[in-house]
Structure 1
Amino acid sequence: MKQLTLCALLASTSAFSAVSDDPLLTAITIDELELRHGDGEKSFNWDLQTWTGYDLKKFVIKAKGSRANGEIEDSEIQFLYSKAIAPYWDLQFGIRHDIKPSPNQTWAVVGVQGLAPYFFETDISFYLSEEGNTALRLASEYEFMLSQRLVLTPSISADIYAKDDAERGIGKGLSEIEVGLRLKYEVTREFAPYIGVNYERSFGKTASLADAANESSKTLQFVAGIQFRF
């Protein structure tokens, strides 16, 4: 969710800026690459984004997932076209493919990503699956600058589904909320190790399906990881 700031940075420092007002740029942002431990569970999680394009239009790839007990539990990748529609806001549309949990499935995606008032980085996406289910994902975070290098970042995300999907452990309505608090130390603007806590909770039918499968419907975990971009 940092691509707006990064785009401005790259545009101002690009070696091609002298010969082009809108050079072709490429960036990779790793927002989360972390180990989680707590409530008897351990996992390795990732959340990244890469894009290539111009100031007002880009091709974007988003990927996130988790691995635990030697197996990938969740994994998704999105391929999106992104177009600026207002200052600090992009309209995005494309496809999302869920690799895990099985069976995999593909969704059509339309959403907006940008900087909400008071500098809340926000990502809102609507999904339509090949099986006719619909979903809404809301995500937001805010950076508190505690010093020149210390940054405290609270974050929250929620997934909402229109239909039950028992095969994948998903219930309709509010399915899951994830809340995080991470403290990072910016060694450079491009690299920062961090520590923090992360809380996940399932609701309604999703929680019932998790309980029936002897899985936890809520977890509180300590996290440690790195964040970088280039």
Structure 2
Amino acid sequence: MEHPDGPFSRVLFNRFEWQDADEGSAQSWEMSAWLGGDLDRVWLRSEGEREGGSTHAGDFELLYGRSVSPWWDVVAGLRQEFQPGPSRTWAAVGVQGLAPYRFEVQATALFGEGGRTAASMEVEYEMLLTNRLILQPLLEIEAHGRDDRTRGIGSGLSSIEGGLRLRYEISRRFAPYLGATRERALGRTADLRRAAGADVDETRLVAGVRWWF
């Protein structure tokens, strides 16, 4: 019995949620999609946030991915950031995969115009409480190589965000969830936010759905 050669595809909205923001409500998303085979894939990744009827933060990535082990891919391509402040275009290189003890890891290094550099890492873990009830902790860290005052970002470790979401899988493809997140600006980024009168530490309640097809 032979397996088909593909190509195959999948679209995953890992987070599509409503958030209890300080000035009303906000909506955020994180999605990824891929097209290809077992070794080579084209990836689309995007995440962002809308608040008060306008996009507060948003980015889009187009990447080529190559499998280097049964659990890990190396990716490279372009990233476009639309908000906050002026748009930025980056070259992106990173890895994504499943670390020991089933931690899902996504780490990306960014290289922009004028010698700008940045890096981000996201780690997730899924705890199966029952066959359908799943608790998902999440940790995101961002760092920048230099100040970007027009976007309120300082050099060094700039922000850290933790989240905890409890979802119920009505089916394997569709799962509503509830949770909470906390984001804190650090170092120079925190200084720039304070100077602009913005919060440096924010906790939000969230409700959303996770689905894929």
TM-score range, shorter chain: over 0.9
2:202 paired residue among 192, 196, 219: 219
Native 8 Å contact 1:39 1:220 kept in 2: no
Larger deviation, residues 207-216 vs 47-56: 207-216
Deviation at 1:39, TM superposition (A): 4.3
- Name 1:46's counterpart in structure 2: 29
Native 8 Å contact 1:171 1:204 kept in 2: yes
- Name 2:89's counterpart in structure 1: 106
Deviation at 1:40, TM superposition (A): 4.7
1-side partners of 2:68 and 2:48: how far apart? 29
Does residue 133 (structure 1) correspond to residue 112 (structure 2)? The answer is no
Deviation at 1:38, TM superposition (A): 4.5
| TM-score using structure 2 length | 0.97
Does residue 187 (structure 1) correspond to residue 192 (structure 2)? The answer is no
Q: What do the CA deviations read for 1:20-77 (whole angstroms, capped 9, x no partner)?
A: 4431111100001001104455210000001111111100000000011121110000
RMSD: 1.2
1-side partners of 2:88 and 2:64: how far apart? 20
1-side partners of 2:108 and 2:22: how far apart? 30
1:64 paired residue among 47, 60, 65: 47
1:156 paired residue among 116, 128, 139: 139
Amino acid at match of 2:88: Q
Secondary structure in 2 matching 1:206: helix
1-side partners of 2:12 and 2:3: how far apart? 24
1-side partners of 2:95 and 2:72: how far apart? 7
Native 8 Å contact 1:90 1:112 kept in 2: yes
Deviation at 1:130, TM superposition (A): 1.8
Deviation at 1:102, TM superposition (A): 2.1
2:65 paired residue among 73, 76, 82: 82
- Name 2:102's counterpart in structure 1: 119
Amino acid at match of 2:177: Y
How many residues matched? 213
Larger deviation, residues 183-192 vs 38-47: 38-47
Does residue 95 (structure 1) correspond to residue 95 (structure 2)? The answer is no
1:37 paired residue among 20, 33, 38: 20
Amino acid at match of 2:13: I
2-side partners of 1:179 and 1:65: how far apart? 16
Does residue 196 (structure 1) correspond to residue 179 (structure 2)? The answer is yes
Q: Note the residue ranges of structure 2 that are not aligned, 5 or more in a row.
A: none
Larger deviation, residues 37-46 vs 220-229: 37-46
